[in-house]
Amino acid sequence: MKQITVTVNGTVYELQVKSWATLLDMIRDDLGLTGTKEGCGLGECGACTVIMDGKTVNACLVLAPEADGKEIITIEGLSRGGQFHPVQEAFMEQGGIQCGFCTPGMILSTKALLDENPNPTDEEIRRDMAGNFCRCTGYTKIFESIKAAVRKGDT
Amino acid sequence: MVTLYRRLPRVEYVQPKTIEELLALRAQYAGKGALLAGGTDLMPKLKRREIEAPGCLIDLKGIPDLAYISNAEGDGLRIGALATLRAIETSALIQATYGILSQTASSMASVQIRNRGTVAGNLCNAVPSADTAPPLLALDATAKLMSQKGERIVPLDDFFIGPNKTVLSDDELLVEIQVPRVLPHSRGVYLKLTQRSSMELAVVGVAVMVSARNGVCENIKIALGAVAPTPMRAKRAEAVLRGQHFSEELIEHTARTAAEESRPIDDHRATQEYRRDMVEVLVKRAVIETISP
Amino acid sequence: MEFSVIGKHVPRVDAPEKVTGQARYAADYSLPGMLWCKVHRSPYAHARILHVDTSRAQRLPGVKAVVTGKDFHGWSWGWMPETRDEPPLAVEKARYLYEAVAAVAAIDEDIAEEACDLITVDYEELPGVYDPEEALQDGAPLVHEGREKNISIEYHWNFGDVEKAFAESHIIREDRFCTSRATKGYVEPPAALAYYDPAGYITIWPAKQSPYFHYRHLAACFKLPLNRVRVIQPFIGGGFGGTKNDSVAGDFCAVLLSKMTGKPVKFVYTQEEELTTSRRRHSMIVYNKMGAKRDGTLTAVQTRVIADGGAYTAIGPLTMYLAGFATTLPYKLPTYKYDAYRVFTNTPIGAAMRGHGITHTRFACEIQMEMIAEELGIDPVQMRLRNAIDNPKPGTMYETINKVTLKTCGIKEALNTVAAHPLWRDKDKAPQRRDNISWGVGLSGTAYLGGARQRGHQSCGAIVRICEDGTVNLLTGATDCGQGSDTVLCMIAAEELGVRLKDIAIKRVDTAYTPCDPGSYGSRVTILAGQATQMAAADAKRQLVRSAAETWEVNPEDIEIKEGVVFVTTDAQKSMPFSKLARIACYSGSGAVIIGTGYSGYGVEPLDFDTGMGNGGTSYSFTAQLARVGVDMETGKVQVTDFVIAHDGGRPLNPLGAEGQNEGGAIQGLGQTIYENFIMDKGKTLNPTFLDYKMPRTTDVPDIQVIDIITDDPDGPFGAKEASEGSIVSTPPAVVSAIHDATGIWFTELPITPEKIVKALKEKGDKKGHGSVREAKRMKERQET
Ligand SMILES: Cc1cc2nc3c(=O)[nH]c(=O)nc-3n(C[C@H](O)[C@H](O)[C@H](O)COP(=O)(O)OP(=O)(O)OC[C@H]3O[C@@H](n4cnc5c(N)ncnc54)[C@H](O)[C@@H]3O)c2cc1C
Ligand code: FES
Ligand code: FES
């Protein structure tokens, strides 16, 4: 067991974790934040995407002990006081969601993309979202959601 | 008996704070400890039990200042063991002078993986398709290895010895990748052939660095990925063009020679024949691209 | 008709839960004291199980129970009573690699996995058979003893005299087509949390798109009355048919382990378990023979299908039915013969997937029709228009030779729409070649069924409960696995009742409360659960209107409800908010209960597997599609740049959702056309990861335009037909035809990988012309009129 201190969605947690537990296990099992999904466990689908110290990572490939001292944002940390984040709003309005299993990861990757590059080209959107696999939508409405989020950011 | 595991095997985890401490641990665990950089190769392999579980994972990330990308003395590029693929992709320094490297990094995996995965990890993992290997080979890179016994500098060309095998010994660490200065009139390109346009391992990877003046090929380096047990230089092919005037015929000859030099295998990603044919196509394209205005 | 809710752009009703991470999927459930189940699997694709030793696993601290095949006492399941050949855990033989053999329950997943490793099984390895055509040979190893030639299902259907029709044809082609080994590829692997409580009730939260299948399986397996099986449906992370319409080993094991231990038990498969052991799409070899007159009029189709069924029958009888019955759509076909063989092999099980059955044979027919058009020098659009079925006049029906009946058919309008699109119209204006890239545009025109029939209980039900404040609870047994049906059903209820969409609330299936429903497959939900919802809403509305009529002392016929307002058409003075009427109705007498119920009434006559005669669906959708591709003529890499999809889904009730379904289906279709394929070696799947089983990513998809063709089918709620499967049928032929346009080569084997393209281009360079065209031009003088 390892003792770690980690900030998740603004709250500081002191946790005992198994040294071989992943950040995903910690978020889901220890903190009960099940919005972060496991699709493949191998870094291939992006369903487990969280933002760690400002950068998106696959929580399934990060060890829980590696998160010691880090600041993490999960999907549960995006909306504040009942207010949706503009990216969340855009996905709802544009139909960028079907089954919803990829959605938390998609939204966090979009947020990270727009934080870094507030006005991405279509090509940049396609390139930067490649780590988030969606089987349902065929991506068209996801692209539209991201572009709508860009417009919301402009106003 | 088959179990398809969702959990990682039980391993210990340590995070040394200095290189000395790390090298001591490395020596102490010998074959029973594995270095952990970004974990993007190690974690999937452990989960799928492709490798025997080490007793302990020794995390490099506790060591400060290993993520550097520098060209301090202007005498070449130095990439620290913890420099991520994303850092290589977005570094202004690399984009300006070693564009082939940022271009290569951007062709790899996903943003999430590139945020974690390191160049050093990509090399040490040593799969034939490791994308950073061909451009670094074409750039004549060397690897600085360190252990409690001391340091050694190994040309990348001698670094790989087989699939998943390098000259690294159990107590060593790759601390730095060194890339010599590139001549102002040289250009390079990495072409990665894949079925989809992202999230793919290379079916064939071709890196070409050319220095050309007045229509003459002053120097050329060609390196290939995924077509031999290790990433490889195509030295016979280089010799065809080196010192010669570029001509379509010679470029085709070079490309054919590279294809002959390659030693691909059949696997579930492609057949040997296709890979060899594609070496020819990509080498030709890469050379033409580097000399096009 | 003027609609208040139908046809409007509305976000999904479950969107807020999904964007905030609050939507809970099966793996997100846990209970105090819960145990973890892990499945132990066979290392052989075909082996006799001699002995299973679980003693070491049982002794491992933390392990609470271990089960093997024998613990299910010979129970097995299947889609029909005659085909119940699949045991929860293998008993005598393992018939495919990684088939489940035993399972453990332990206090955590680490221990469960470790315990699985401690189970030892003695096997006698048997010779396996991995190819359906080899499996049909005499002397091939038998996957199931006593099943001659490994035939799992066979159908032989005849409609008209094909021999005579071929003899009279101007041109005949015979070709072999082959479809890929594809799978659903959803992101959420199978998972469930199960609790068999001490009172003898099962409660389970499983990842199922058709919970009522599972409900019956569990009742049968555990010999319980149905009211003791409670399936509570979580959110579902994608379905697409097959696995989530069925049960998996983990489901049965978790329930049995829970029964044995008295604790809740949970399992979560890995994606590798999903990709190596779950149900896949059948891969099919289609030997197709097609005849036509000189003017392109089709005369006959003769199809022989050999499908790789894998180790068990599962839903195979329906697959083979669907692959055959719909060949008479969307083109007029005077004669047709169908011989189908579903064959057992030692590979994972072939089953349903979006575009079920039809995608294989339609692909073969579409491409063959294009080949014939090419040989006859007829434009592909004209070829199709010449044969396409006309839209029947209102009140009439079109009947195919196998007695499939259509009341609406938008194929001609769809074809004309895409043919007028600049992408097609101007395709010869743009240069075809730039550097190494050759561009091509292709077209298809296809059909799919909606409101699929099956056997047994096939009605969907709905309950509309009016709350005293005028809000509404909608209960259905239908499952939204992502396709958006909850939203559409709420829209239907709101429209029918005359209330606002936000006044309707829907929750997921709970078999203890919701009405029985066959499930989410065969594009049934909008049509059949939609009809049930409309009827239930109408029933509730009747009760409310009666109450209003009494209050106002007017005729019920004079009362209307629209957008939350109740009014009398003949007296402008009389109106009240819906909420007020609800209160009046609910508080009448000593208090009343206003509940409307309804169930769909279509599909009364069962499927006829022996003759293939009759309807497979309630109604039929039609799709015409364009695809534009760029083919790298040196590397064979294909980039698809544009899709235009003209879809006749009757009427899109929720345009945003219908568009999303068309787009998603098309991209899955793209995957199976150029990327997706399991590479198999003696029953072993060599590419069981998302890196190597290549599904389209953001970088690989074209720009998609969806155009609605509105035909308003009388058999669907507010005119709706299906919208979720048509495009997975229309995409493969459109893309193959575009690749042909770019390369001059007809590819008949999916997926068309870069390597196949390079090989074919090489061969074409050697010898002029392509393929083995057996062109039988009948010199027989025109015997026909
Ligand atoms: C979904 C996915 C997609 C991928 N796509 C690509 C791709 O397109 N191209 C590609 O080439 N790779 C790809 N990879 C592989 C991987 O991401 C890269 O190889 C990455 O660069 C590995 O770096 P890392 O820091 O994560 O290595 P780690 O996993 O931390 O380490 C890899 C190996 O190197 C050893 N090691 C690490 N650092 C050192 C050091 N300094 N000294 C000595 N030994 C060391 C480790 O012990 C381990 O054996 C992909 C992986 C995934 C999961
Ligand atoms: S679950 Fe982490 S990438 Fe798929
Ligand atoms: S919405 Fe289902 S995977 Fe993206």
| Most distant pair of Cα atoms in chain C: their distance | 90
CA of B45 to the centre of ligand 3 (A): 26
Burial tier of C774 (Cβ tally within 10 Å: 0-12, 13-18, 19+): exposed
User: Between A and B, how many CB-CB pairs are < 8 A?
Assistant: 91
Residues 6+ apart with CB under 8 A from A9: A33, A72, A73, A74, A76, A77
DSSP state letter for C331:
B
Q: What are the residue boundaries of the structural domains of chain C, listed by start?
A: 26-126+192-237+242-274, 280-453+608-784, 459-599
CA–CA distance, B135 with B133 (Å, rounded to integer) = 6
Of B87-91, B181-185, C182-186, C312-316, the poorest mean pLDDT is in B181-185
B57 versus C434: the higher-pLDDT residue is B57
CA–CA distance, B277 with C635 (Å, rounded to integer) = 9
Given the structure tokens 């207010």, which residue do they identify? A83
State residue C769's pLDDT score.
34
Contact C187 A39 (CB under 8 A): yes
CATH architecture of C280-453+608-784: 2-Layer Sandwich (3.30)
Structure confidence by residue, pLDDT tens digits, C508-530: 999 999 999 998 998 999 999 99
The answer, yes or no, to whether residue C459 has pLDDT greater than 80, is yes
Span C27-52, average pLDDT: 98
First to last CA, chain A: 48
Q: What are the residue boundaries of the structural domains of chain B, listed by start?
A: 12-62, 65-179, 188-291
Closest CA to A131 of C185, C678, C699: C699
Q: What are C634's two structure tokens?
A: 């040196």
Helix axes of A140-154 and A86-94: crossing angle, nearest 10 degrees: 140
B47 lines ligand 1 (CB under 6 A): no
Structure confidence by residue, pLDDT tens digits, C615-643: 999 999 999 999 999 999 999 999 999 99
Residues 6+ apart with CB under 8 A from A56: A49, A50, A108, A109, A112, A131, B111, B112, B115
Q: What distance in Å separates residue A81's CA from the closest CA in chain B?
A: 28
User: Is domain B188-291 annotated with CATH 3.60.15.10?
Assistant: no
CA of B113 to the centre of ligand 1 (A): 9
Contact A126 C699 (CB under 8 A): yes
Class of CATH domain A2-76? alpha beta
Return the percent helix, strand and coil in chain C, to nearest 5.
30, 25, 40
Cβ contacts of B259 on chain C, cutoff 8 Å:
none
List the beta bridge partners of residue C304. Answer: C287, C339
Q: How many CB atoms lie within 10 A of CB C765?
A: 8
State residue A155's pLDDT score.
58
CA–CA distance, C261 with C255 (Å, rounded to integer) = 10
The answer, yes or no, to whether residue C767 has pLDDT greater than 60, is no
State residue C774's pLDDT score.
25
Superfamily for the A86-152 domain: [2Fe-2S]-binding domain (1.10.150.120)
Rg for chain A, CA atoms, rounded: 15
Pocket test for ligand 1, best of B79, B106, B108 (most atoms within 8 A of CB): B108
Dihedral of the alpha carbons of C357, C358, C362, C364, in degrees to the nearest 10: 0
Q: Is A9 on the interface with C (CB under 8 A)?
A: no
DSSP state letter for B27:
H
Closest CA to A101 of A151, A41, A139, A47: A47
Q: What are C297's two structure tokens?
A: 């009029």
CA of C619 to the centre of ligand 3 (A): 28
Please state the separation of Cα C695 from the chain's center in Å: 17
Span C18-47, average pLDDT: 98
Residue C766: which pLDDT band, with cuts at 50, 70 and 90?
low
At C562, which helix (H) or strand (E)? strand C559-562
Would you identify the CATH topology of the domain B12-62? Answer: 3.30.43
Residues 6+ apart with CB under 8 A from A129: A106, A109, A110, A113, A139, A142, A146, C698
Cβ contacts of C664 on chain A, cutoff 8 Å:
98, 135-138
Please state the separation of Cα C201 from the chain's center in Å: 31
At B137, which helix (H) or strand (E)? helix B133-138
The answer, yes or no, to whether residue C161 has pLDDT greater than 80, is yes
Structure confidence by residue, pLDDT tens digits, C527-549: 999 999 999 999 999 999 999 99
Residue C157 is which amino acid?
W
CA–CA distance, B98 with A116 (Å, rounded to integer) = 23
Where does A36-139 have alpha helices with state H? 86-94, 103-116, 122-128
Task: Give the global pTM.
Answer: 0.97
**Count of H helices and E strands in chain B?**
12, 14
First to last CA, chain C: 46
CA–CA distance, C549 with C555 (Å, rounded to integer) = 6
Residues of chain B in Cβ contact (below 8 Å) with chain A:
6-13, 15, 36, 38-40, 43-44, 47-48, 57, 59, 61, 86, 106, 109-113, 115-116, 197-199
| CATH code, B65-179 | 3.30.465.10
**Atom number, ligand 2, closest to the C-alpha of residue A38:** 1
Q: What distance in Å separates residue B111's CA from the closest CA in chain A?
A: 6
Q: How many CB atoms lie within 10 A of CB C699?
A: 18
Q: Which of residues 9-28 of B touch C (CB under 8 A)?
A: 10
Specify the residue with its C-alpha closest to ligand 1, atom 37: B121
Q: What are the residue boundaries of the structural domains of chain A, listed by start?
A: 2-76, 86-152
Please state the separation of Cα A39 from the chain's center in Å: 13
Phi first, then psi, for residue C726 (nearest 5°) are -55, -40
**C459-599 shares the fold of C26-126+192-237+242-274:** no
Q: What is chain C's mean pLDDT, rounded? A: 95
Cβ contacts of A46 on chain B, cutoff 8 Å:
110, 112
Structure confidence by residue, pLDDT tens digits, C5-23: 999 999 999 999 999 999 9
Q: Which chains touch C (3 or more CB pairs under 8 A)?
A: A, B
Return the percent helix, strand and coil in chain A, to nearest 5.
40, 20, 40
CA–CA distance, C393 with C391 (Å, rounded to integer) = 6
CA–CA distance, C231 with C510 (Å, rounded to integer) = 6
State residue B185's pLDDT score.
87
Q: Is C763 on the interface with B (CB under 8 A)?
A: no
Contact B39 A63 (CB under 8 A): yes
Structure confidence by residue, pLDDT tens digits, C65-96: 999 999 999 999 999 999 999 999 999 999 99
DSSP state letter for C296:
S
Burial tier of B50 (Cβ tally within 10 Å: 0-12, 13-18, 19+): exposed
CATH architecture of C26-126+192-237+242-274: Alpha-Beta Complex (3.90)
Class of CATH domain C459-599? alpha beta
Q: Which chains touch A (3 or more CB pairs under 8 A)?
A: B, C
The answer, yes or no, to whether residue B267 has pLDDT greater than 50, is yes
Span C658-663, average pLDDT: 98
Residue C782: which pLDDT band, with cuts at 50, 70 and 90?
very low
- CA C21 to each of CA A78, C266, C685: distance values in angstroms, whole numbers, following the listed order: 10, 21, 33
pLDDT-flagged residues of chain A (< 70) = 155
CB B12 within 8 A of CB A19: yes
State residue C313's pLDDT score.
98
Q: How many CB atoms lie within 10 A of CB C119?
A: 22
The answer, yes or no, to whether residue C472 has pLDDT greater than 80, is yes
**Atom number, ligand 1, closest to the C-alpha of residue B173:** 42
Q: How many CB atoms lie within 10 A of CB C388?
A: 25
CA–CA distance, A32 with A20 (Å, rounded to integer) = 18
